[in-house]
Amino acid sequence: MATLGLETHVVDKDAYRSTVARFRDAGIALPTFAQLRDPETIPAAVRARLADVGPDEPHPLNLFRVHWFNDADRRGTVAVPGYLVLPPELTGVKAKILVALGERFPMITAHKVLAAYGCLAPRLVTGQFDPAAHKALWPSTGNYCRGGVAISRIMGCRGVAILPEGMSQERFDWLERWVADQDDVVRTHGTESNVKEIYDKCAELDAISENIIFNQFSEFGNHLVHATVTGPALGRVFEDAAEKHPGLRLRAFTSATGSAGAIAAGDHLKSVYGAKIVAVEALECPTLLENGYGEHNIQGIGDKHVPYIHNAMNTDAVCGISDTATDTLSLLFNSDIGQSYLRNRRGVDPHVVEQLGSLGFSAICNVLAAIRAARHYGYGEGDAIVTVATDGFAMYRSEVPKITAKYFGGSFDAVHAGEVFGQHVLGNEAARFEELDQAGRRRIFNLGYFTWVEQQGVAFEDFVARQQESFWRGLRSLIPAWDAMIDELNRETGVLAALGVPADGV
């Protein structure tokens, strides 16, 4: 098993020097993690130049947009990340459900480009990836690999997407446009939960020395970028809501886990606000709930294993949501019939209805888990649950005919709209919720042994070290070390200086 991205010194000086040269020539500067956490600290000269760069261009400056604070047109920044407040008319519960919008991220309209950057940046500054010599391999179920391919293209290196063939057509369409060579889209067998097949393909490709695999399931950069960038961004969302509703308490964070990157934001929200961390998975593939397996359509989550970077011992509950609920609610939220039902029969604010297209399948799943958590714990008006919409429904429009045929005989009508809402929102029927005690947490932690120690060759001592909270806290010290190395790399390339950024970086 490759090292897990924990180095804080230059491992290979030649690779590092080559990266500096490539970045100097291509005008690439790297943002620090601190700047992504707080984009107001991005140098004014960079922000001024960004005004001329489209958010979906493969432009080096778009790395400075890989954060939660992009405004609605994704060109400027805002003081509070874009978020929706879902009202009781839509959720059936009084607690405030706050959903941060991943579709405002650049290039891929999903927050997974942040995970890709979090895995890549430490490798670049430590000389473990040389864009002039290596190919970057991005194993994923479709969004992370798009983020990786986008950043690879900016760096002028080959980026290879490895994903199951059954993922949404929109992902493949995007990839076709962005890869340097169509062979750089590697389709593995199966759908959402066939991650083992992705690992097997990676093992095969790892034998080629020019390939560097950025394994989001085990790279601590993925955990850390969410713990230190997404966590505070969601904290800002909550505080904004609390300013409008004095006395509001942040009770829980729900996050459907794929690589278990985003759920790391919960580590921050728990330590600062005492929020419970609720891991969410597809009921059809109940790995965390009952060591189970199965197929489902909540694309991006639930991979029949416990990722190495999942801080399982800090997880407070597991919620299972059926893909029948996410599939059918996606029709409710994105059809004229469904939207008019929500406005006219349920009295949902039209402005909220308009924005429901910002919720992709896993976002709807996160919202349903928040509703379930509110019911389970009895949260009321003064309580908030925060969650994320990793991507929006634009990534899934090609699924509409399949869902309509599968559940509604080819046409979705007003009666269906009422049924779907009654069943999956008001009834929240196909949802399971389990609070975890220590034995429950250990059950999840222990399941990871088979993937990581037995299959992937992680040392037993390294595996068990992750049982201690002190291990995860200790990881945080990597961030300032990496930021200092990012600053140094930028100094050596001179790219920021050429843009007019003064030496103190402001």
Q: How far is the CB of 117 from ligand PLP (least distance, A)?
A: 13
Cα 222 from Cα 139, distance rounded (Å): 13
Q: Which residue has the tokens 């293209």?
A: 153
Of 261, 320, 392, 448, which one interacts with ligand PLP (CB under 6 A)? 261
Phi-psi region of 92 (alpha: psi -120 to 50; beta: other; left: phi over 0): left
Q: Which stretch binds ligand PLP (CB under 6 A): 188-196, 205-213, 260-268, 314-322?
A: 260-268
Cα 304 from Cα 296, distance rounded (Å): 11
Q: Is 278 helix (H, G, I), strand (E, B) or coil?
A: strand
Q: Which stretch binds ligand PLP (CB under 6 A): 74-82, 197-205, 253-261, 333-341?
A: 253-261
Cα 71 from Cα 396, distance rounded (Å): 23
Q: How far is the CB of 494 from ligand PLP (least distance, A)?
A: 34
Residue number with CB closer to ligand PLP (355 or 390)? 390
Position 373 contacts ligand PLP (CB under 6 A): no
Cα–Cα distances (Å) from 337 to 148, 344, 353, 420, 493, in that order, read 37, 10, 12, 12, 55
> Residue 94 CA to chain centroid, in angstroms?
27
Residue number with CB closer to ligand PLP (77 or 299)? 299
Q: Which stretch binds ligand PLP (CB under 6 A): 88-96, 140-148, 204-212, 491-499?
A: 140-148
Position 91 contacts ligand PLP (CB under 6 A): no
Label residue 410 exposed, middle or buried (CB < 10 Å: 0-12, 13-18, 19+).
Answer: exposed
- Asked if 317 contacts 435 with a C-beta cutoff of 8 angstroms, the reply is yes
Q: Which residue has the tokens 């069943």?
A: 423
Q: Which stretch binds ligand PLP (CB under 6 A): 193-201, 270-278, 293-301, 485-493?
A: 293-301
Residue number with CB closer to ligand PLP (139 or 235)? 139
Position 144 contacts ligand PLP (CB under 6 A): yes
Asked whether the CA dihedral 224, 226, 229, 231 is positive or negative, the reply is: negative
- Asked if 178 contacts 146 with a C-beta cutoff of 8 angstroms, the reply is yes
Of 66, 256, 353, 436, which one interacts with ligand PLP (CB under 6 A)? 256
Q: How far is the CB of 146 from ligand PLP (least distance, A)?
A: 9
Position 262 contacts ligand PLP (CB under 6 A): yes
- The edge-to-edge listing of strands for the beta sheet with 135-139 is 185-188, 159-164, 135-139, 211-213
Position 259 contacts ligand PLP (CB under 6 A): yes
Phi, psi of 366 (to 5 degrees): -60, -40
Cα 498 from Cα 18, distance rounded (Å): 19
In sequence order, the β-bridge partners of residue 170 are none
Of 66, 113, 301, 495, which one interacts with ligand PLP (CB under 6 A)? 301
Strands (E), 390-483: 431-435
DSSP assigned state of 145: H
Q: How far is the CB of 171 from ligand PLP (least distance, A)?
A: 9
Q: Which residues in the 353-372 window bind ligand PLP by CB under 6 A?
A: 360, 362
One DSSP character per residue, 197-214 reads HHHHHHHHHHTSTTEEE-
Q: Which stretch binds ligand PLP (CB under 6 A): 161-169, 180-188, 261-269, 481-489?
A: 261-269
Position 258 contacts ligand PLP (CB under 6 A): yes
* Count of residues near ligand PLP by CB under 6 A: 21
Residue number with CB closer to ligand PLP (19 or 362)? 362
Q: How far is the CB of 101 from ligand PLP (least distance, A)?
A: 13
Site track 386-405 with ligand PLP (rule: CB under 6 A), x = hit: ----xx--------------
Residues near ligand PLP, by CB under 6 A: 112, 115, 140-141, 143-144, 256-263, 299-301, 360, 362, 390-391
